[in-house]
Chains A and B, each alone.
Chain A
Amino acid sequence: MFIINCPYCGDRDQTEFSCHGEAHIPRPTNTATMTDEEWGDYVFFRSNPKGYHRERWLHDHGCRRWFNALRHTVTDEFVATYKVQDPRPQIPGDGDQS
């Protein structure tokens, strides 16, 4: 049972939130020219890492805002939460800002 720091509301109980999968997968703007493989990759294929994961959360029973989180999928611990338009926080121990 996590405590999640909503970037708009602050620390709240997990039961107020829902998770909506991997973040930073923009919808392609050239859908007409995409192959089935490219489209399938966008819709279905996920990194599903055993480690740090950037993901989307919704503060359902709160401000109803979507935001992003950086969380570790083994410890389930949050490193950071951030607004959709904010820069991505760094992965601990990783110099690369990807």
Chain B
Amino acid sequence: MSQSQRLSQGGMIDRSKPISFAFDGRQYTGYQGDTLASALLANGVRLMGRSFKYHRPRGAIAAGSEEPNALVQLETGAYTEPNTRATCIELYDGLVAKSQNRWPSLEFDIGAVNSLVARFLPAGFYYKTFMWPASMWMTYEKFIRKAAGLGVSPVEDDPDVYHGTYAHCDVLVIGGGPAGISAATAAAGSGARVMLLDEGSEYGGALLGTSDNAAAKSYIDSALGALGQSENVRLLSRTTATGYYDYNYITALEKVTDHLGPGNGGDAPRQRFWKIRAKQVVIAAGSIERPLIFADNDRPGMMLANAVGVYINRYGVLPGNDVVVFTNNDSAYQVALDASAAGATVTVVDTRRNVSADLKSKLEQNNIRLFEGHAISSVQGGKGVESVRIMELSADGESLQGQAWEIVCTCVATSGGWTPSCHMFSQSGGKLKYEESIAGFIPDSSRAKNSCPNVSAGSCNGVFTTQECIAQGVEAGISAAGAAGRSGSVPSVDTFAVNEIPQGAIAPLWLVPTVHPVGEGKAKHFHDFQNDVTAADIHLAAREGFVSVEHLKRYTTTGMATDQGKTSNLNALAIMANIQGVSIPEVGTTTFRPPYTPLTLGAVGGQESRELFIQERKTPMHEHHVASGAVFEDVGDWKRPWYLPKEGEDMHAAVQRETLAVRESVGMLDASTLGKIDIQGKDAVKLLEMVYTNNWQKLAIGSCRYGLMLNEHGMIFDDGVTTRLGENHYHMTTTTGGAARVMNWLEEWLQTEWPEWEVYCTSVTEQWAVLAINGPKARDLLRDLTDIDVSKDAFPFMTMREGTVADVPARVYRISFTGELSYEINVPARYGKHLIEALTEAGKKYDLVPYGTETMHVLRAEKGFIIVGQDTDGTVTPHDMDMDWIVSKTKEEYLGNRAQARVDTRREKRPQLIGLLTEDPTVVLPEGAHIVAEVLDKPPMPTIGHVTSSYMSPNAGRSIALALLQDGINRKGETVSLSMMDGTVHKAKVTDTVFVDKEGVRVRG
């Protein structure tokens, strides 16, 4: 049955280009220009998927992105993509798709058993059961989870690439139907920079589905041709505006190469994500037809009337040879005429009794039967409609009466009227108003958000003839261009008319009366197809009090499927309104949340993953470390050498060796990542006085001082050494991770609190490469390379000297984070590599050993030097760190001063930093291990402190640890217990925090 439903002529497909594709393992042929859905329909395939809950057989009801049913698993392997709407998949050669949510096959789906017990599965049934026994829920849940979901995720990494891009324009036009095209033409003619987006592969919107599409096509081509030649216009087809955010920021997804098939895109990305800032927006998003809701209105073959028209006219496919058109408005009559012209036997069932003479005569001329005041009472056929029965509606429209007539048909085209697509307007922050005449919500332009200037035009604004849409489009285009400051001469914009019958006077019939009360017969009356939500579910929700629109939505899940209720929301609201006896706007509308259609995650975030996730920061010496075999540690965004193992060494062995070497000979550490801030200006010292806890007035030029910074909670947040370089010139260092934070801290205070102070801060972290050499032979090594007098008296501890090192200009700071004789050699960053190479060469004779951050940590812990962020945690004061010596008693004001005097901050027995020596010197306590007040058999056990730093110290010849312990300073000498996760208890003695060279001789050596 090759393309049995393909019409012999017509449509906008390219019959010279046949395309073969596979669905559920069967091969089919379609044509270039088809969608997967149109090609399947051409081949007589109506059954395309299964629904979420009841696994009911389903076919496509739409021809566009509003499709709720025909979701397929597109492609296989790494390219697979679940839940893809067959109505939006452009056919390409070799396409492979599978149906979803069924097992073992689409035709025979075990899950359909749910349909048999549907009576026990009303909305929210799961809230009422699966509770006993309590322990079984996790088992129930496993089955529920397996039954839920739709398609399957890929299990391989995405082979595609995505691009993100920004654009700016005067006027953004969303939607390339007649209104959008006209708006773009008018705006461009006024001199505006215009962008025109359309989600389809072709511009034209509803015009593409009209019977005189040849004329329509020539109108579209001519308009687009003119726009395409305009330099100030950018046309983006296959591009869906997905979100509308504050200040006219619109996101859009362009499907760049999806239509070519996997791997066929060449160098182009799969999709491109646009972030557009528009001065003005014209929303011309069109409208979406609603289905009528009647018994078993979900059988494959049931379609929106306009979709039937689109399949016939655009794709040359007749969805059924016997068509029943079921409508409550005029627009579906055109579909009846089109289907008839395509050779179908057509019957029109209209719920109204006042069909115009004009329409009647049109039907008569085409031998189309008309039943006025009738409705479909039942549908026969499971996996595809076979016939419908119709009955007369009572005069009040509340019930069915009389005899049922059976009409054989394979396609039912239903129209319950048109819903303007207000998604974009609503997302922009605008409010909607209910328009009785069209039975739908439209934008209330008087309630648009000021920061989102836009205008709606065309059927999304509630007008339904092509000529009206064009007229509104032109007006919108001119006004938007004008508002964007472009009001050149406006060209005349062509108008155009097609064979169409607009919606006209609509007689809303939100729920077709039923033979049995809803929910009581075997039939189901679906409004949300994908999530299987029926009118009976709305009744149940109302009965149980879930009457607010959000409760309705959440309790029944209506509108929450992948189509987000495009065809269902208004019907659901209206049914609830009827039950409640209130008007539709009194029930309200749910919020239209972005995105308009589901948005590929890779397109949104793809550029921020893999190598572009967060840039790795590398020091100027990085290459040298790599060559030295360093293992790197991530410190913030930096890559720092963690340790440098020799052949056969593990981390422990390497660190022990490095640590010993520093205290025995000399070691070197790349310290370039430390934050560095150049501070100048006559008030520089005032700034230091405010941000540090200690005094800075008397620091001599060329001298260095350690400082602690507190936040206004009185807690330590950074530390470092600052050096006075000149009269009003300082060089501040910060922790690696705190560099940006400190810079912002200084600037914030300077700019907002003390703007009159003359101080200039410049981040120079990346301007200097820094190599710290530590150890008893550091001076000898430095002497070999510098013109600076490095003798003990000429270059004492805590001073800085300028000169050359290894023939390049350098500032050398004699400061120490190891307790050893130490110099931090700073050279301009471009000499960093040169410096480390020169040091490495010169250091050979002194047994120079490069070391990493882990050894740095051991060395500093041996001396009890804290690491902010490891030994402190944002809740620790200088007093807690036993660092009262650094807090000025004389300064009146500095940041964090007052907070230290609060009741809790000055309370006794706060956790304080102490040293711990385990009874067993070989035991290295895990960092994070807790000290308990008493050892109990099992938790809970009250804790009184925790280990912040813990290492095996080769220089102390045993394990050492630093810990925060309640009242720790007064507990020195006591023995405490630490309880491990596995129940082991370690005992340790509380000591001071210096484990090596307690007198501090070496650093001054």
Contacts and interface: CB of A to CB of B under 8 A. Distances in A.
Direct contact between the two chains A and B in their complex (CB within 8 A): yes
Interface string B233-252: 00000000000011101000
Contact of A31 (B245, B277, B752, B898): B898
Nearest to A27: B753
B752 A56 contact: yes
Nearest to B250: A1
Contacts of A39: 898-899, 902
B748 A85 contact: no
Contacts of A26: 753
Contacts of B902: 36, 39-40
A14 B429 CA distance: 18
A43 B899 contact: yes
B451 A77 contact: yes
B247 A2 contact: yes
A75 B277 contact: no
Contact of B246 (A28, A40, A76): A76
B753 A58 contact: no
A2 B898 CA distance: 37
Interface string A13-26: 11000001000001
B748 A1 contact: no
B247 A31 contact: no
Contacts of A32: 892, 898
Nearest to B713: A43
Contacts of A27: 753
A3 B898 contact: no
B246 A31 contact: no
B903 A66 contact: no
A9 B680 CA distance: 25
A64 interface: yes
Interface in A40-97: 40, 43, 56, 58, 64-66, 75-78, 84-85
**B interface SS class:** loop
Classify chain A's interface size.
20 to 34
Contact of A1 (B249, B747, B899): B249
A44 B243 CA distance: 36
Contact of A20 (B450, B713, B748): B748
A31 B893 CA distance: 8
A1 B898 contact: no
B753 to A, nearest CB: 6
Interface in B671-716: 712-713
A98 interface: no
B744 to A, nearest CB: 7
Contacts of B983: none
B449 interface: yes
B751 interface: yes
A84 B752 contact: yes
Interface in B440-489: 449-451
B245 A1 contact: yes
B265 interface: no
A31 B898 CA distance: 6
Contact of B751 (A34, A36, A84): A84
B898 A75 contact: no
Contacts of A40: 902
Contacts of A65: 751
B755 interface: yes
A36 B903 contact: yes
Interface in B881-913: 892-893, 897-899, 902-903
Interface in B738-752: 744, 747-748, 751-752
B534 to A, nearest CB: 38
Contacts of A66: 747-748, 751-752
Contacts of A64: 747
A20 B741 CA distance: 13
Given A27-B753, A43-B713, A84-B752, A77 B450 contact: yes
B449 A34 contact: no
A84 B755 CA distance: 8
Contacts of A58: 744, 747-748
A32 B712 CA distance: 14
B752 A1 contact: no
Contacts of A75: 429, 449-451
B247 A3 contact: yes
- Among B744, B748, B898, chain A packs the most CB atoms within 10 A around the CB of B898
A77 B449 contact: yes
Contacts of A78: 451
Contacts of B712: 43
A68 to B, nearest CB: 9
Contacts of B898: 28, 31-32, 34, 39
A19 B753 CA distance: 16
Interface in B206-258: 245-247, 249
A27 B755 CA distance: 13
Contacts of A13: 277
Given A65-B751, A75-B429, A77-B450, 6 more contacts: A1-B246, A1-B249, A32-B892, A39-B899, A58-B747, A75-B449
17 contacts: A1-B245, A2-B451, A13-B277, A20-B748, A29-B893, A31-B897, A32-B898, A36-B902, A39-B899, A39-B902, A58-B748, A64-B747, A75-B429, A75-B450, A75-B451, A77-B450, A84-B755
